[in-house]
Amino acid sequence: MNDNKSKSPERGERTARGRISKARGWVALAFIGSVGVGLALHTGTGTYSAFGIDQIAAICPLGALETLLTGQTPTWHVLVGLAIVVVLVLLFGKAFCAWLCPTPWLQRLFRRGDGCDAEVLSPAAKPTEDGRPQSVEPAESNRDEGFRTVETERADGSSLDQEPEQPAEVGDAEQVEQQVENASVRALPPVGGARDGFHLDARHAVLGGALVSTAIFGFPVFCLVCPVGLSLATIIAVWHLFQFNELTWGLLVFPAITIAEVVLLKHWCHTICPLGALISLISAGNRTFRPKVDESQCLREKGADCTACITVCPERVDPHMPMIPECTKCGKCVEHCPVQAIKIPFLK
């Protein structure tokens, strides 16, 4: 996906584009690589389900919760692992989703650029009340269109035709005065994303279902179909095929389930994934590494109806908003902001 960008002619202001995406790719690849090293060298570091050194390992929070509900008594390792994960999520929010989880990459691979993060709104299509975009178009065209729109608006000032909402307390006379005064630099209010703020949705229902069925059946149920676990299970099965000549049904079934989930269920990340749901519950407390918009540079402050950051956001949040627990720190808004007004600092 990065190749497309590097091949296309780029303007100076877009040179940073793709850098964070590339970094995310390398981080995810490095993690998979560490699993490969573990397979070859017996390091015992682990996989997405549990990763660490010796007795100290971060653990899949969903798996850990499931083991606590099975009726058996796990050892203290679970609680330490859970604590590590809670601290990591409080520190990095939902970064796992964008930086480590293989699902978005699989979606890109098998859906030809129509992946998880392609569910973006075209600049014109504002979210409707139920949070769904009115029109969804292929990602690349969307992005370019987003920029063209911005450019045009800046050039001909057409965005100024739109009436921004004025605060209620501002009087009529004052309002007119302000309009005249700020005709060229009137700030537009933030658009807001469909998934801003903390809210419960279908994913949390799946999460509840996974936990309840685990309590009923007495074993971690979601692990059977987890695309994260199964994608690594596929790698391990392929490894065993070459190392031990083990030809098993898993070689077909594991990738088939994974691909069926992430490709056929198009909105896996936003509407089904119980792991993301659980992480989002914790990431509501995340206060670090949140995207920060430099309002003095943002085009909306200068009156242009730019929605590049929201348009490109795979999680459909608005980096202008203070509370966006769904933000995965993917850096797309940073990369796509036409004036580089967005950064992801340690503290906002």
Q: Which residues bind other proteins (CB under 8 A)?
A: 35, 38-39, 42-47, 49-50, 52, 54-55, 57, 59-60, 63-64, 66-67, 70-78, 81, 206, 209-210, 212-214, 216-225, 229, 232-233, 236-237, 240, 244-250, 253
Question: What is the CB neighbour count within 10 angstroms for residue 122?
Answer: 19
The 8-class DSSP code of residue 45 comes to -
Nearest residue (CB) to other proteins, 82 versus 341: 82
Q: CB-wise, 51 or 147, nearer to other proteins?
A: 51
Q: Which of 153, 158, 175 is nearest to 166 (CA)?
A: 175
Scan for tokens 């604590």, then name that residue: 83
Cβ distance to other proteins smaller for residue 7 or 42: 42
User: Residue 53: phi, psi to the nearest 5?
Assistant: -120, 130
Residue placing its CB nearer to other proteins in the complex, 127 or 220: 220
Structure tokens at 254: 């594991």
Encode burial over 20-53: b for 16+ CB neighbours within 10 A, e otherwise.
bbeebeeebeebbeebeebeeeeeebbbbbbbbe
Distance of closest approach, residue 190 Cβ to other proteins, in angstroms: 37
| Residue number with CB closer to other proteins (173 or 216) | 216
Cβ at position 72, least distance to other proteins in Å: 4
Question: What's the closest the beta carbon of residue 39 comes to other proteins, in angstroms?
Answer: 7
Of 194 and 226, the one with the shorter C-beta distance to other proteins is 226
What whole-number distance in Å separates Cα of residue 175 and Cα of residue 242? Answer: 73
**Neighbour tally for 156: CB within 10 Å:** 9
- Least distance in Å: CB of 280 to other proteins? 18
Residues in the chain: 348
Taking the complex as a whole, the smallest distance from the CB of residue 96 to other proteins amounts, in Å, to 15
SS3 187: coil
Tell me how far apart the alpha carbons of residues 117 and 21 are, in angstroms, rounded to a whole number: 12
Would you give the DSSP letter of residue 347?
B
CB of 79 to other proteins, least distance (A): 10
Question: Residue 22 Cβ, how far from other proteins at the closest point, in Å?
Answer: 28
Question: By C-beta, is 1 or 68 nearer to other proteins?
Answer: 68
Do residues 64 and 82 make contact, with C-beta atoms less than 8 angstroms apart?
Answer: yes
